[in-house]
Structure 1
């Protein structure tokens, strides 16, 4: 108001000593100035509303995903915004009141007022919760299903069975700390080794040796790293829990004593009879000055029941050339795997045929009802948090509306209309959340069904394959 008074006071002062023509000219110029200032003030108000006018009141999952948190709600904690026992909204600061008042005094449109409530006080947890719910994927136990093998071992009456003794050698050198497909090599290799051991079945005896896990890749630790080869899972019947726990504890650290690892297994198996195969998972060549080709040759020398099979995981050309030569010297095979999928699929497909006992075990190892229940429980918890967030946010909006009515910033009728719009918005978001939960629950059911269909189809293929032998 003061800005409006000053120009007119100045006008009176200026025109007091002027002629009539001069007075008219000065008056006209000052009036134009006042009009320009008033238009500028109105334009300023419009500029403020233009930002709020861009706010989208969500009615779809895509719109909800992209809802920005309110400027004055950024300090609300996740617990506050998702509690099953909502707390009252905090007192508004003078700045917050000023901003809300500037909106409701600039417009009578309740739709804009609703946009303002969301712009200033919208929940800050939607993006995170929706992202977790939308991207939730049930992790179910999907057993590895090896294709019918190309390699069999004769054992009396021409019966063809899997090797009964297997030594698994896991490379734990520092290069296994590198990544493939965005995941650490060591983590991928562990999954493959665990699946492989499980595929061998409970009727087979297995052992797990690790090498490269001692010391570091530094020169000062070379001797330690190159001489320590450990049997971390002693030769025995396969026990899934014990084996998996052992594998999980392995850490990649040092050099690559491939030759020493093969020699260690050779010494440990000198007195063993029958088919015996060494399976090596490695991502590189020897780095400890040993001769792995000679070691493999000595292991399989004059004994066709002994083999050294190697899978080279993401190996460079030099390393692959050496590993191929090691496998050849050990009467075995070399398989190249450049990524996690190839590694997981190659070992069992090439080297193992499941027994009927194994088939039954694998069929029973698929996900059960508890896996489905647990997955749906996790989905339900995320959905509940979203429901609570919607309820708390709507309650906050209604409190703001009541404040505006009480302080006579808006009329009672406007308050009622705005409250109804808030309630409709709440119902819309709750409905979207319900649809999302239903869709995620269906994904769980579909995943469960997919896994068991694959298991059944695989079991039928194995049975058919055996019948044709």
Structure 2
């Protein structure tokens, strides 16, 4: 009986162990099923995510489409300079492994040619169309703005003009020229106007530029240095635009106003000249170095009755204007008031009427064929950047299609359809580029034509004025 109970106990223990094993096995099977389902769902989500990304990509049809293109994920760190400079074969070698992995994933999810073409843009499209197109669109020809003054001299004034000779420009660079007029520093306006003025009077006279007030500072301790600092920065010579304009960059406004000594220097310079001498002063203030500019102007003209001292008072107060008027009167010259940059320009225009020879050559003030061609060539630098970007992008697409064909990831029919579509888009991009260039060439031509039209109108107006004035030459 005792043995029976022992046997019965063993049977119960075995039964219990068997039940636990079955439970564990069932749990394992359930866990494996859940993992497989999760993995399946994960793969499905990844596939859906990629398809959604491709669906959001728009294949290029217009220039605006190109400018909106986001660019490929495999080229995120490529700058525009790198895209234009680096050989595409080298770039493709660098991303070869990742590219192939992406292609395997994508071709498992879709065999549709349109989706596959979008995938090429998603992976390898250029990021830089917007920048390079805008650079090209913003290009403007750097045609020199022609100087076309409209003077208004009467016949009586013309008779009083001094004979052709030499001109000395005295430019005030004292500290007061650091003040502003029309939201610009007076010195900058005066330099610009002086450059124009020299161009005007340089048509008929040799020119010299003397600057004063540009040494030391406005402090009392620098008064002597400043008042003695009078310098001829453009020696008397025929007018050379480049050299003259360079001379204007060699000084800044700083100190006191030695107007009298500046006139005296002009007189000393004139002693060796036999021609008629005309002094033009551009100043914004009174003498501050204890000199007598009226006396110096009188001394200047005593030596030769054909000498004159003309003054442009630039944005001066009443006291300064009275003094400068007295100086010009003592120098047998004229005084002109210029309250702002516009007045200064008009005053300069008043001083010159072009000769018949000048008018005969006036057409050269407008852009000529070589200048227009230079503008074309400069634009083509930007144009070539777009062309290179289009070509490099197309090379990447064709390389990728070759991989798809070699690895047999797609059927030959799909490959053929994909290749045809890529070639069609490539030609479309080139057509967009050609149209962009044609429009820019038209803009360049229109810009040149507008300048030519203004020059022609000015030339006719000047001829009419010369006829009214009775000029022959």
- Structure-1-length-normalised TM-score: 0.72
Gaps of 5+ in 1: 1-11, 18-25, 313-318
Instruction: Assess if the C-alpha contact under 8 Å between 1:222 and 1:255 holds in 2.
Output: no
Supply the distance in 2 between the matched residues of 1:14 and 1:175 (Cα, whole angstroms): 99
Compute the displacement of 1:203 (Å). Answer: 1.4
Contact 2:216 2:223 (C-alpha < 8 Å) held by counterparts? yes
Higher deviation after alignment, 414-423 or 162-171? 162-171
Q: Which residue of 1 aligns with 2:63?
A: 61
C-alpha separation in 1, matches of 2:145 and 2:196: 10
- Alignment partner, residue 334 of structure 1: 337
2:6: which partner in 1? none
The question of whether the paired residues in 2 share the 8 Å contact of 1:217 and 1:253 is answered with no
For residues 36-86 of structure 1, the C-alpha deviation after alignment (integer angstroms, 9 at most, x for no partner) is 886665445444554554444333333333434434335557676447986
Aligned partner of 2:196 in structure 1 is 195
Q: In the alignment, which residue of structure 2 is the partner of 1:236?
A: 237
1:333 aligned counterpart, secondary structure: strand
| Structure 1 Cα separation of the partners of residues 98 and 365 of structure 2 | 61
Shift of 1:458: 0.5
Q: How does 1:370-381 map to 2 (within 5 A)?
A: 370-381=370-381
- Give the deviation of 1:395 after TM superposition: 0.9
The answer to whether the 8 A contact 1:213-1:251 is kept is: no
Q: What does residue 168 of structure 2 align with? A: 167
Q: Does 2:99 correspond to 1:123?
A: no
Q: What's the counterpart of residue 316 of structure 1?
A: none
Aligned counterpart for 1:264 among listed residues 217, 241, 262 = 262
- Return closer, same or farther for 1:170/1:58 CA change in 2, 3 Å cut-off: farther
Residue 8 of structure 1 is matched in structure 2 by none
Q: How far 1:275 moved relative to its partner?
A: 6.6
Q: State the superposition RMSD in angstroms.
A: 4.6
- Deviation for aligned residue 1:159: 6.9
Supply the distance in 2 between the matched residues of 1:57 and 1:222 (Cα, whole angstroms): 73
TM-superposed deviation, 1:129: 3.2
- Given that 1:208 and 1:233 are in contact with CA atoms closer than 8 Å, whether structure 2 keeps it comes out as yes
> Displacement of 1:146 after TM fit?
0.5
- CA 1:62–1:210 in 2, change beyond 3 Å: closer, same or farther? farther
**CA–CA distance in structure 2, aligned partners of residues 227 and 63 of structure 1:** 67
The 1:324–1:362 alpha-carbon spacing in structure 2 relative to 1, beyond 3 Å, is farther
Cα separation, 2, equivalents of 1:44 and 1:388: 35
**Which residue of structure 1 aligns with residue 390 of structure 2?**
390
User: Secondary structure of 1:307's partner?
Assistant: strand
Alignment match, 2:113:
110
Mean Cα deviation higher: 263-272 or 299-308: 299-308
Instruction: Work out whether 1:406 is the aligned partner of 2:406.
Output: yes
Q: Is the CA contact 1:126–1:386 (under 8 Å) kept in the aligned structure 2?
A: yes
> Would you say 1:438 and 2:422 are equivalent positions?
no
1:73 aligns with 2:72: no
Residues 239, 253 of structure 1: alpha-carbon distance in 2 compared, 3 angstrom cutoff: closer
After superposition, the Cα gap between the structure-2 partners of 1:147 and 1:406, relative to the gap in structure 1 and judged at 3 Å, is same
| Worse-matched range after superposition: 210-219 or 395-404 | 210-219
Q: How far apart are the structure 2 equivalents of 1:105 and 1:299?
A: 96
Q: TM-score, normalization: structure 2? A: 0.72
Q: Secondary structure at the match of 1:464?
A: helix
**Any residues of structure 2 matched to 1:15-54 within 5 Å, and which?**
16=26, 42-54=44-56
Question: Cα gap change, 1:465/1:220 in structure 2, threshold over 3 Å: closer, same or farther?
Answer: same
Residue 381 of structure 1 deviates from its aligned partner by 3.5
What's the offset of the Cα at 1:371? Answer: 0.7
**1:287-313: CA deviation from partner (whole Å, max 9, x where unpaired):** xxx52897665565597942211445x
C-alpha separation in 2, matches of 1:320 and 1:74: 62
Partner of 1:147, secondary structure, is coil
Write the distance in 2 (CA, Å) between the matches of 1:102 and 1:325: 88
Alignment of 1:153-164 (within 5 A): 154=157, 158=159
Task: Spell out, residue by residue over 1:406-428, the C-alpha distance to the aligned partner (whole angstroms, 9 max, x if none).
Answer: 33444333332222222122111
- In structure 2, how many angstroms separate the alpha carbons of the residues matched to 1:439 and 1:191? 34
**Where in structure 2 are there 5+ consecutive unaligned residues?**
1-21, 302-306, 329-334
The corresponding residue for 1:255 is 254
Aligned CA distance change for structure 1 residues 439 and 164 (closer, same or farther; 3 Å): farther
User: Given that residues 266 and 279 in structure 2 are in contact (C-alpha distance below 8 angstroms), is that contact kept between their aligned partners in structure 1?
Assistant: no
Give the Å deviation of 1:107.
3.5
